[in-house]
Amino acid sequence: MTNKEVAELAGVSSAAVSRFLNGGYLSEEKRERIAAAIEQTGYVPSANARILRMKKSDTVGIVLTKSDDSTLTGVTAGLEKYLFAAGYGASLAYVGDEANADFNAMRSMLERQIDGIVLISSAPVPGNLELFERARVPIVIVGQHARNRNCVRFDNFGAAYDLASSLGCTMTSRIAYIDAGKRYRSFGSDRRKGFLAGLERVGLPEQNITVVTGGFSVDEGYYAVKKLLASGNEYDVISCATDAMAAGAIKAIRERYGNTRRAKMPRVTGFGNDPILQAVAGPIPTVRFDYEECGIKAAEMMVDLLKGNVKSVASMVLGYKVVGI
Amino acid sequence: MTNKEVAELAGVSSAAVSRFLNGGYLSEEKRERIAAAIEQTGYVPSANARILRMKKSDTVGIVLTKSDDSTLTGVTAGLEKYLFAAGYGASLAYVGDEANADFNAMRSMLERQIDGIVLISSAPVPGNLELFERARVPIVIVGQHARNRNCVRFDNFGAAYDLASSLGCTMTSRIAYIDAGKRYRSFGSDRRKGFLAGLERVGLPEQNITVVTGGFSVDEGYYAVKKLLASGNEYDVISCATDAMAAGAIKAIRERYGNTRRAKMPRVTGFGNDPILQAVAGPIPTVRFDYEECGIKAAEMMVDLLKGNVKSVASMVLGYKVVGI
DNA sequence: TTGTAAGCGTTATCAG
DNA sequence: CTGATAACGCTTACAA
């Protein structure tokens, strides 16, 4: 079913149908006839023809790189909410671990003429972004810092700093930090550095802190801590780069000390405020981020970029709340 | 940058460029010239023009209705994996609670000429599906049963049945079941009915079981169980329709009985095998589903539909594994 | 207000 | 093997 067929049925021109759809001059009489014809035929206009003609899609592409699931859905919800309200559509692509998957997803979005692209927690592969620069498609990066690029992210450093310094540690405290590894910049170095800086502030030098590297999943946290405790050393605090890792840490600690809460058992801290963890192991110190807010801010930035009312590149850092202390 | 411009630069016709891209007859010499021109200009072909011309997009739309996050990402990963391998693209839309959001998402996919649509855990709004039937776009429904439609789902009834009957309950056991409410068919009635049937099999009639309705989140599970326990009754088992609810239940039980594990404390069961819950509260009885497998099966079904080699409507039910017993 | 017609970037047909 | 050309469905000058 096409424009023209509907027009014929309504006894008007195809231009009139187009005007009906997009709100142009039209007599009430024709308006009704066209409405009836559309209703009757179940006509659905072709977005592709429109985009081809208009050279823009009023759609923003969103590339979700495999990460913490609730982060992804939270940020996405915020993005869509703002974009829809601003009259834009969203087109998502979920990218796993496969080689080139991110490049392919971005490329295919470009082919479909998205007007802007939002990259969520993807490690910035430089070559990929050139693609969009060349095409003058604005980019917003979420969850990562990128030099001289529009990005929205959380203050992982500050959050870890505050968490560490509010733990009540003294100079004799025995602390371990379970790092998420360098694959995830925000989980990795930012949190680790902030944590160490926070401890230093309360008098604990970096040398006194044991840092080991895990993955970012429950299992990886579990094995890292199991290995750590097998050494025979005792810790007052074991801090983890994510709540999932913290869950694994708790399991390892229980296996070592038994189920009762003894004084010598290390305290565990996490990152992310996972509701299940808080309910079952809580309250434990962790950090809460507002993912939806993050999506909204990113969308706002994108819409500003799209509307052209933007002076220069902006890097926005969102706050946090330390909970469970 | 267009087809024609590239052709001009390479000194060939636009048809040759098209053939280059899609693998048609072409001399080696021209092939090289075209490759060079594309490289030089950074030409990206217009998918919209191609779709317009071809009247198909080789793309499957996937509508994700707000639900358990890890279910969504797992199923999506499986879907994409199979679809990509079969030469199709995927276009996702995430749909929250907003009015008409699902309709809008589906409509917009239709406008973009997706070749098929997969609906994940969306409550089946009948009117929406007619849209696609009219357009002859095949539909696959994931996570819900729908009469005489192609669907892939888990055997929630069977899983709950097995879980219940392997709990070791006797005729004098005091059991409570926390339902997720009717908004979610698979979480709701299927699991509840299976659970009750499983208990009946081991000799426990339905009247002996207290069923209350919660939500499907941690908090809702918490409040439901808190209220339940406030009545003063004792339970041997409190089974929950989801792992998140189970986490809330555990919190409520701890508040009632204290942190030590006493004999009279109710055991808790969940559904979904959430890794954080298993690490921290486990092992507790729960059910494991393979979400990625589910996505793969749905994609397989869709590709069969798309290729036209399909006899009739199929409803596929996937198995489960009861764990933590 | 309304209709005609050009053009958006592809692909496929068809004649060389 | 190759190139001209029509057509896909839509929007928008432009003319009426």
Residue B171: its pLDDT value, please? Answer: 85
| pLDDT, average across residues B171-186 | 83
Tell me how far the alpha carbon of residue B73 is from its chain's centroid: 8
Q: Distance, angstroms, CA B46 to C1' D5?
A: 20
Average model confidence (pLDDT) across chain B: 93
Whether the per-residue pLDDT at A272 is higher than 70: the answer is yes
Whether the per-residue pLDDT at B104 is higher than 90: the answer is yes
Residue B261: its pLDDT value, please? Answer: 61
Residue B62: its pLDDT value, please? Answer: 98
Whether the per-residue pLDDT at B89 is higher than 80: the answer is yes
Whether A2 has its CB under 8 Å from any CB of chain B: the answer is: no
Whether the per-residue pLDDT at B323 is higher than 90: the answer is yes
Whether the per-residue pLDDT at B190 is higher than 80: the answer is yes
Whether the per-residue pLDDT at B262 is higher than 70: the answer is no
Whether the per-residue pLDDT at A292 is higher than 70: the answer is yes
Q: Residues of B numbered 21-40 whose beta carbons fall under 8 angstroms of chain A's beta carbons: which are they?
A: none
Q: Do B275 and A70 touch (CB under 8 A)?
A: no
The 10 Å CB-count burial string (b at 16+, else e) for A158-187 is bbbbbbbbebebeeebbbbbbbbbeebbbb
pLDDT in tens, B25-81: 899 999 999 999 999 999 999 999 999 999 999 999 999 998 888 899 999 999 999
Residue of B nearest to A254 (CA): B280
- From A98-107, A205-214, A254-263, B46-55, the region with the lowest mean pLDDT: A254-263
Residue A47 token pair: 């977005």
Residue of A nearest to B275 (CA): A218
Q: Do B280 and A76 touch (CB under 8 A)?
A: no
Share above pLDDT 90 across residues of chain A, in percent, rounded to a whole number: 78
pLDDT in tens, A7-30: 999 999 999 999 999 988 899 999
- Which secondary structure element, helix H or strand E, spans residue B114, and what is its range? none
- Which domains, and CATH codes, for chain B? 3-45 (no CATH), 57-154+291-323 (3.40.50.2300), 156-288 (3.40.50.2300)
The model's confidence at residue A85, banded by pLDDT at 50, 70 and 90, is very high
Is any atom of nucleic acid chain C found less than 7 Å from the CB of residue B18?
Answer: yes
- Which secondary structure element, helix H or strand E, spans residue A114, and what is its range? none
Residue A325: its pLDDT value, please? Answer: 87
Q: Mutating which of A83, A94, A251 best tests the B interface, going by the most B Cβ atoms within 10 A?
A: A94
Q: Residues of B numbered 65-94 whose beta carbons fall under 8 angstroms of chain A's beta carbons: which are they?
A: 66, 69-70, 72-73, 76-77, 80-81, 89-94
Question: Which nucleotides in chain C have some atom under 7 angstroms from a protein Cβ?
Answer: 1-5, 7-13
Contact by Cβ (8 Å): A28, A20: no
Separation between Cα atoms, residue A35 and residue A14, nearest integer Å: 13
Separation between Cα atoms, residue A129 and residue A147, nearest integer Å: 12
- CB within 8 A of B261, min separation 6: which ones? A259
Whether the per-residue pLDDT at B260 is higher than 80: the answer is no
Separation between Cα atoms, residue B135 and residue A53, nearest integer Å: 23
pLDDT in tens, A122-168: 766 777 899 999 999 999 999 988 889 999 999 999 999 999 999 98
Whether the per-residue pLDDT at A200 is higher than 80: the answer is yes
Which of B124, B119, B64, B73 is closest to B95 using CA atoms?
B64
Nucleotide nearest to A43 (CA to C1'): D9
- Which secondary structure element, helix H or strand E, spans residue A144, and what is its range? none
Contact by Cβ (8 Å): A240, A213: no
Residue A261: its pLDDT value, please? Answer: 61
Nucleotide nearest to B14 (CA to C1'): D3
Long-range contacts of residues B103-107, Cβ cutoff 8 Å, at least 24 apart: B103/B127, B103/B128, B105/B63, B106/B61, B106/B63, B106/B131, B106/B132, B107/A44, B107/B131
Whether the per-residue pLDDT at A309 is higher than 70: the answer is yes
Residue with tokens 């990128």: A146
Q: Distance, angstroms, CA A15 to C1' D11?
A: 8
Separation between Cα atoms, residue A274 and residue A289, nearest integer Å: 10
Q: Residues of A numbered 226-255 whose beta carbons fall under 8 angstroms of chain B's beta carbons: which are they?
A: 243-244, 247-248, 250-251
Whether the per-residue pLDDT at A80 is higher than 80: the answer is yes
Residue A31: its pLDDT value, please? Answer: 94
Residue A260 token pair: 């009762």
Instruction: Indicate the residue of A42, A47, A94 with minimum beta-carbon distance to B73.
Output: A94
For nucleotide C9, the protein residue with its alpha carbon nearest to C1' is B49
- From A103-117, A219-233, B76-90, B175-189, the region with the lowest mean pLDDT: B175-189
Is any atom of nucleic acid chain D found less than 7 Å from the CB of residue A52?
Answer: yes
Residues of A in contact with B245 (CB under 8 A): none
Whether the per-residue pLDDT at B187 is higher than 80: the answer is no
Whether the per-residue pLDDT at B188 is higher than 80: the answer is no
Beta-bridge mates of residue A288: A321
For nucleotide D11, the protein residue with its alpha carbon nearest to C1' is A53
Q: How many Cα atoms occupy the beta-carbon half-sphere of A254 within 13 Å?
A: 16
Residue B170: its pLDDT value, please? Answer: 85
| pLDDT, average across residues A92-101 | 91
Whether the per-residue pLDDT at B122 is higher than 80: the answer is no
DSSP string, B123-168: ---HHHHHHHHHTT--EEEESS--TTS-EEEE-HHHHHHHHHHTS-
| pLDDT, average across residues A270-283 | 94
Question: Which nucleotides in chain D have some atom under 7 angstroms from a protein Cβ?
Answer: 1-5, 7-13
Shortest alpha-carbon distance between residue B240 and chain A (Å): 14
Q: Distance, angstroms, CA A316 to C1' D10?
A: 39
Nucleotide nearest to B44 (CA to C1'): C9
Secondary structure string (H, E, C) spanning A152-211: EEECHHHHHHHHHHCCCCCCCCCEEEEECCCCCCHHHHHHHHHHHHHHHHCCCCHHHEEE
Whether the per-residue pLDDT at A6 is higher than 90: the answer is yes
Which of B284, B280, B221 is closest to B253 using CA atoms?
B221
Whether the per-residue pLDDT at B186 is higher than 70: the answer is no
Residue B246: its pLDDT value, please? Answer: 97
Residue B258: its pLDDT value, please? Answer: 80
Q: In terms of residues, how long is chain B?
A: 325
Residue A127: its pLDDT value, please? Answer: 79
Q: Do B275 and A217 touch (CB under 8 A)?
A: yes
- From A42-46, A197-201, A211-215, the region with the lowest mean pLDDT: A211-215
Q: How many Cα atoms occupy the beta-carbon half-sphere of B174 within 13 Å?
A: 10
Whether the per-residue pLDDT at A110 is higher than 80: the answer is yes
Sheet holding A209-213, edge to edge: A209-213, A175-179, A237-240, A267-269
Separation between Cα atoms, residue B80 and residue A93, nearest integer Å: 9
Residues of B in contact with A107 (CB under 8 A): 44
Separation between Cα atoms, residue A68 and residue B69, nearest integer Å: 9
User: How many contacts (CB atoms, under 8 Å) link A and B?
Assistant: 150
Q: Residues of B numbered 253-282 whose beta carbons fall under 8 angstroms of chain A's beta carbons: which are they?
A: 259-261, 274-282
Is any atom of nucleic acid chain C found less than 7 Å from the CB of residue B55?
Answer: no
Residue of B nearest to A95 (CA): B77
How deeply is B69 buried, as exposed, middle or buried, from its count of CB atoms within 10 A (0-12, 13-18, 19+)? middle
Average model confidence (pLDDT) across chain A: 93
Residue A259: its pLDDT value, please? Answer: 65
